Amino acid sequence: MGIWRMGSWRTRRLAVLGVCGLALAAVPAVPAQAQGPDGRPPHWELKDSGTDVRFRGLSAVSRNTAWLAGSKGTVLRTSDGGASWRNVSPPGSGALEFRDIEAIDARRAVVLAIGEGEASRILRTDDGGKTWTESFRNTDARAFYDCLTFFDRRHGLAMSDPVDGRFRILSTSDGGRSWKVLPGDGMPAAQEGEAGFAASGQCLVSSGPRDVWLATGGAARARVLHSADRGLTWTATDAPIPAGDPARGVFAVAFRDRTHGIAIGGDYRADQASPRAAAVTGDGGRTWAPAAKPPPAYRSGVAWLPHSRSAALAVGPTGTDLTTDGGRTWRTLDTGSYDTVDCTPDLGCWASGEKGRVARLER
């Protein structure tokens, strides 16, 4: 059994205009030309999901299409910008905890259920959620899967908390239709109590065709592990985010390319402070530096706003923060509760979280 199993992806590119508008939202005066049709700066606009489950799994396809995965085996999909949501939950999944979802496109997606033993499962749909096929069910009582990531339409990985002293990695080369456990020889030994946080689907993320990073906590030191060969061999680096407790560590990472990354986290307990809740790297995770001005509280999800070399969003139960300098300093934009965030090339940026909360960034 690993760390506390919160809800458990990768970011896509956002057009320059959207990034500039969002960055301007961080300063007191917003030029008229940067404001939206209603005169407001970019902001989250809540969408009615029609449910009260917690959505820690989110995968945005476009400004109009997004997938949500959450508690009680719930999967929702919208194709009209959140005006309506279709319940496409797999039949008989009510007892499962979905914490990560990876959309290949508007009709194809792979979803991860977390938990000990057979509670950890992976399912895939090719028809927009009308039907689902279970492609993996964990039969090892010692394993507990947390996150998924895909390099492209065919190649992806899933990660489990340590088994026999090492994180376990699943691999697919057919878009999630089948999975195999990778050899553990190339994985560094885990620390005592170390595990991943299934908080936002971002404890395992990829950038490009081969690079992948795994975020950890719960042990004496928070770490980020990196593989440049799709999970065959890994190196581990300490991250300057407090750990030393099962509730603390790195909860999510995001990379805008294979060298520039952001790590966020803290202590998920509401009554505990989360100093030094963010860190940055410019060398692919070989070294990490603490943010000079981190978010003011624990954050569980993070997404780059590409086409920009410096803008990103971090979300958590107490708000959304923006950085415009690559993660070195952060400013709070919103105080609503969200667990995860994802963005797309066509100005689509989505966030989701507790009590059925889902929102799209508007300007």
Query: Which sequence spans correspond to the domains of the chain?
Result: 16-362
Q: Is the pLDDT of residue 326 over 90?
A: yes
* Candidate from 144-148, 243-247, 283-287, 307-311 with smallest mean pLDDT: 307-311
Question: Which of 15-24, 67-76, 214-223, 334-343 shows the lowest per-residue confidence on average (mean pLDDT)?
Answer: 15-24
Share the mean pLDDT of the chain. 90
pLDDT bracket for residue 308 (50, 70, 90): confident
Q: Is 16-362 CATH 2.130.10.10?
A: yes
pLDDT band at 39 (very low <50, low <70, confident <90, very high): low
> pLDDT value at position 150?
98
Determine the Cα–Cα distance for residues 50 and 204; give it in Å rounded to an integer: 29
In the predicted model, is pLDDT for residue 17 greater than 50? no
pLDDT on residue 30: 33
Which residues, including other chains, have CB under 8 Å from residue 337's CB and lie 6 or more apart? Answer: 316, 317, 318, 319, 353, 354, 355, 357
Contact assessment for residue 77 and residue 101, using Cβ atoms and an 8 Å cutoff: no
Quick one: which of 346, 291, 284, 258 has its CA closest to 61? 346
- What pLDDT digit, counting tens, does each position of 251-273 carry? 999 999 999 999 999 999 999 99
Look at 305 and 301; give whichever has higher pLDDT: 301
State yes or no: pLDDT of 12 exceeds 60: no
Q: Find how far residue 45's CA is from the centre of its chain.
A: 20
Within its chain, how far is the Cα of 109 from the centroid?
Answer: 15
**pLDDT for residue 343 is more than 60:** yes
What is the predicted pLDDT for the residue at 40? 63
pLDDT of residue 13: 29
Nearest to 146 by CA among 225, 78, 209: 225
285 pLDDT higher than 90: yes
pLDDT tens, residue by residue, 214-235:
999 999 999 999 999 999 999 9
State mean pLDDT over 199-220: 98
pTM reported for the whole predicted model? 0.90
pLDDT at site 22? 42
Q: Convert the pLDDT of each residue in 96-129 to its tens digit.
A: 999 999 999 999 999 999 999 999 999 999 999 9
143-192 pLDDT, tens digit per residue, is 999 999 999 999 999 999 999 999 999 999 999 999 999 999 999 999 99
Nearest by Cα to 57 from 258, 323, 350, 292: 350
